[in-house]
Structure 1
Amino acid sequence: MGTTIIHLCYFGLINVIVVLIGYQILKKRLILLSWVLMIISLFIIHFIFQHEHPVIRMLALIVTTFTCMKVIAAANDYKNKPLGLTFIQWSAFAIGWMGMRAQPFEKLGEAPLPNAWPMIQFGISRVIAGLVLIFAAHQVALLHLAPNLNYIIITALLLVGFSLILHFGLLSISAGMWRLSGVNTYYLFKLPAKATSLTEFWSKRWNIAFSEMTSIAIFRPLINKTGAAAALMLAFGFSGLLHEIALSVPVNSGYGLPTLYFIIQGGLVLFEKALMSRKIMFLKNTVIAHIWTLFWVIAPMPLLFHTQFIKQVVWPLGGMHY
């Protein structure tokens, strides 16, 4: 326990250093250095936490990845415009918000924005719903179902429960709280079940922070050099790489599977665009479009949330043992 506390202190110090150096990188537009900073920081975090529990390792890697990606995204976003962020505003963005657009924090400290409390209330309701699902997973474990069925039901309940708590709950509460301070924050998960294409799902509805990140840091800088299709696939590939850091490295297993998941998604997005360019409009049927989207998001999901990640992270995080 004492060693873990020391490691967490190192983790906090490294992220503070990233924020401090990151602001200097922003002021001098040192985009290449921002990537170097990320690589070094993640290598150090991985080395420090390599013998910690996978849950702790995962959280340390994810938080550090997001902190470093804030530097990369902001450096790219401000490279051709004046830096409008004070250090306090930059720190609030880098530490306190999961989105990747820094500009809204230029208004930090101004009058409260509308819809803050509805967002907070929405988030609280989703946290409660998520806790109910985790409780339900514990009740299913008491039923002593067939092992495979037990694994599938409990895993599904835990994954959806954690998603409700974090993605739709805590992040919505965070968005509402920042709006009370004048920052034009927004839902990062926008009714994903309403998506009628994978293009819409990944670009406008699911994890807007990741789509902002890959768009600013990968797609936009590369599109004129590689073409739109290659830039899009590289963006999805990069998203896969970040998920490897979050889902495979902590359990030292499943390498390549999250990347394959996102390569499949990128290929299907290109397929959709090809259909549209040839006026093949089967996705215009709303029912078919919903089925198509949900199937391709969910069916390959065992590649993303592979077995060892479920056993070593998801179940323990839910207070359960496989």
Structure 2
Amino acid sequence: MIHTLYSVLLAISFLALTRVLAKRYVLWPGMLVVLAVVNYLHFTDPPFARMVVICSVLLICMKGIVLAEWGGRLTWPRWFAFTFLWFGMEPPPFAAKPRKLRWKTDAVIGGCCLLVGLSLSIIVAHWETDSILVLFVPLSIGFHYGVLRLLTAFWRLQGIAVRPLFRNPLLSQGLGDFWAKRWNLSFSQMMARAVQRPLVLRLGKRPALFAVFLASGLLHELAITVPVQSGYGLPTLYFVLHGGFVMIEKPAWPLWLRRALALLLVAAPLPILFPPVFTQEVIRFTLNHLQIF
């Protein structure tokens, strides 16, 4: 418990730093130092607990970097809401004046996905399978398309023009479109603002885009392999492979081919992204505990 308190204080201290010192070359190393200390404090914790703490601190630190990169100012209530009560990484909706927005569709879709995801997760928990696709999809439906969509509906009801962070991946126009506009827009927003845009002027558009995939791999190491202390380098390999393919992907290719290749490249190498230890100690652990409810 005391270690968790220390981790929270470290994350809050980093946020305070981003408010007064908006320097990327200071903030990025500072975030890594904070995460290294958090990892040390929780080194003996169970993998699931370590993942939750590390991911929470990483999310909070990245919020600070995004706010510093954005350069604008939020009122303290809006800052608190954006930083701690929303998973997206675009501050402008929280800076704008509230207005009447449609939210019921998001609420219905989110509620249905949450029920379906929970039901499938409880069923899958009883299966004797190590397939990461079978184990991960129900959790994704419940959390990514359920809980987060309900959160979107909540903020839209408050007049904050946030958008769904996960959109139908089956409609992807290709692998580049999947990562940029379909899957985990909070992460793509963060990478675009904090990595791609600063590097475009220095390296050019394509190298900056590849750097986004490399940085994504390294951040996923913190969320996946560090908590379970196994499989180091595999998430980075997953994203480097995807970055390489996005570099050669062409709009002129037939749409059916781009869609098929995108879904294949996302799904087939999932065992690389999620090593076996993570699958058992985190994903299977989560599914097993959902049966309690």
* TM-score of the superposed pair, with normalisation by structure 1: 0.85
Give the C-alpha shift of residue 13 in structure 1: 2.8
CA contact (8 A) 1:123 1:170 kept: yes
1:15 aligns to what? 11
Give the C-alpha shift of residue 103 in structure 1: 1.1
2:63 aligns to what? 70
- Aligned residue for 1:319, secondary structure, equals helix
Report the identity percentage. Answer: 32
Are 1:181 and 2:168 counterparts?
A: no
CA contact (8 A) 2:214 2:236 kept: yes
1:91 aligns to what? 80
1:146 aligns to what? none
Pick aligned residue for 1:42 from 20, 32, 35: 35
- In our comparison, the structure showing a higher alpha carbon Rg is 1
Alignment partners' CA distance in 1, 2:205 and 2:134? 38
Deviation string, structure 1 residues 147-195 (Cα, Å, up to 9, x no partner): xxx322xx43320111112211111111111112221111001111110
**Cα distance 1:91–1:21, how it changes in 2: closer, same or farther (>3 A)?**
farther
Give the C-alpha shift of residue 234 in structure 1: 0.8
RMSD: 1.7
Alignment partners' CA distance in 1, 2:208 and 2:224? 24
Are 1:226 and 2:195 counterparts?
A: no
CA contact (8 A) 1:136 1:157 kept: no
CA contact (8 A) 1:54 1:313 kept: yes
- Aligned residue for 1:139, secondary structure, equals coil
2:226 aligns to what? 249
- Aligned residue for 2:44, secondary structure, equals coil
CA contact (8 A) 1:42 1:64 kept: yes
Alignment partners' CA distance in 2, 1:116 and 1:20? 33
Pick aligned residue for 2:266 from 285, 297, 304: 297
Unaligned runs of 5+ in 1: 142-149
- The range that moved more, 52-61 or 118-127, is 118-127
**Cα distance 1:20–1:116, how it changes in 2: closer, same or farther (>3 A)?**
farther
**Cα distance 1:88–1:19, how it changes in 2: closer, same or farther (>3 A)?**
farther
Unaligned runs of 5+ in 2: none
User: Aligned letter for 1:130?
Assistant: G
Deviation >6 Å, runs of 4+: none
Q: Which has the higher contact order (CA 8 A, sep 6+)?
A: 2
Alignment partners' CA distance in 2, 1:6 and 1:187? 35
Alignment partners' CA distance in 1, 2:224 and 2:91? 26
CA contact (8 A) 1:261 1:300 kept: yes
* TM-score of the superposed pair, with normalisation by structure 2: 0.93
Give the C-alpha shift of residue 245 in structure 1: 0.2
Pick aligned residue for 1:6 from 2, 8, 11: 2
